[in-house]
Amino acid sequence: MKPKKKNSKDGLYPRTEKLMPDSGPEDQVLVVIDMQDGFSASNDQRTISFVKQEILRAKQTGMAIVIVEFDPKEMGSTHREIMDLLIDYERCTTVSKDKDDGSEEILEACLDNGFWMEDFRICGVNSDACVLDTVTGLLERIPSCEITVVQDACNCSTGNDNDVWREDYPSLPVTVISAGHALQAA
């Protein structure tokens, strides 16, 4: 059953009806944000490695994956080594955005592809801009959704361990985990 389109009047998406009574890892959507050559933070090999781990974990558990790109003409495409992991993976789609908050494009992609829109796992760059704005946008559009942000698989131009993790994310109803915790959960 495909969920209905959003209510354009208020910008909220309706709570989707689930076909199975219990949620499993395949219901979570991995969102990879702006891992493009044009973002200096995305060129960090440690961040790339952790994002690749997230993708491999997602594929292993059958999760849907949404790759988000900020203006690919200006910022380039997602790193080839990341996209190579997704060759022939059918539960993946790529969307483009033209602002920091990619939540609307992500939700439209979920609707178009029949992906569950209640549980998101987020990684990418920049943790203090596009990642944070997208997380906030998802929470505004679907207040009941669950969001996990994998800190080690995120980065920003000021480095991975910046104030956003102490000042902004703690005030949001999200779970922030390290990649080590993510691997244990797989």
Could you report the per-residue pLDDT of 79-128, keeping only the tens digit for each?
Answer: 999 999 999 999 999 999 999 999 999 999 999 999 988 999 999 999 99
Contacts of 143 (CB under 8 A, 6+ apart): 12
- Collapsed DSSP state (helix, strand, coil) of residue 30: strand
Tally of domains within the chain: 1
The verdict on residue 6 lying in a domain is no
The verdict on residue 7 lying in a domain is no
CA distances from 81 to 14, 35, 78 (A): 36, 11, 9
Give the CATH number, domain containing residue 144.
3.40.50.850
Report pTM. Answer: 0.85
d(Cα 85, Cα 87) in Å, to the nearest integer? 6
Which pLDDT does position 11 carry in this prediction?
52
Any idea what DSSP says for residue 23? -
d(Cα 27, Cα 54) in Å, to the nearest integer? 15
The verdict on residue 85 lying in a domain is yes
Could you report the per-residue pLDDT of 87-96, keeping only the tens digit for each?
Answer: 999 999 999 9
pLDDT > 80? residue 5: no
- List the Cα angle 161/165/166 in 5-degree steps: 110
Which pLDDT does position 180 carry in this prediction?
63
**Sheet order of strands, 119-125 included:** 92-97, 64-70, 29-33, 119-125, 146-155, 175-177
User: Would you say 67 and 92 are in contact if contact means Cβ atoms under 8 Å apart?
Assistant: yes
User: Would you say 63 and 26 are in contact if contact means Cβ atoms under 8 Å apart?
Assistant: yes
d(Cα 26, Cα 61) in Å, to the nearest integer? 6
Could you report the per-residue pLDDT of 36-82, keeping only the tens digit for each?
Answer: 999 999 999 999 999 999 999 999 999 999 999 999 999 999 999 99
Q: Which domain holds residue 83?
A: 27-185
The verdict on residue 15 lying in a domain is no
The verdict on residue 58 lying in a domain is yes
